[in-house]
Chain A
């Protein structure tokens, strides 16, 4: 799904976006989480993150695994430090009024699959 479709489905407001090709950016998979270690459990690149957290560590976490787009749910506005770090790292930020569950549901229903979970392993 193209980023422009995601934006329209979630009726997002733009907080920060940089490059011209933004609307054509292909969003292959997404994850929704409010805990950063849960986000770090995903290891595939090019992911969209939906979250209710707005501090700069959200952007830092995104950087670590190559997430290019962050959408803040429930109409949350990120801190100024969050925006400036996203600017520095060229990670796009948007906001939607929808709650996390509904935002994830809308994207899932319209064809964005979950991240591949090569994740569930037990530790002995």
Chain B
């Protein structure tokens, strides 16, 4: 008997999993994400993350924002998206604020957003390393905090999620009149 060499698949290491209550949903998610060009893999969820279904979809965790949006648009029901390594901390929730006199800089993880105190106009964004960040830089600068598009709506990655957090905090500081 001749054994054929199995065709080698493209290696994949995603670092994150989408968790489901139902196998059907997991399979639907795998199809939706693959059709959209994402590299994904059906896997067993780690025991510590199991949410009732024995099937999960491994994703590139960095693409969390774009994947959440796509699943919502395609009505795929899922429980949550989590890092595959259970030792990984949760998403960083805290922000830091720096007062530059006429401007305020809000920092969330690796992302920073700066606006002018008087008009609430976004004058700069900095930090980050994913490709949607230079795009969001161009989309946000010059816009008023409350009129700017939300990074989580037009971005795709964890960096966009952190920029979104900085923007939300900026809006809170500015509209609440509590800017330093």
The answer to whether A and B come from one shared complex is no
Interface residues, chain A, CB within 8 Å of chain B?
none
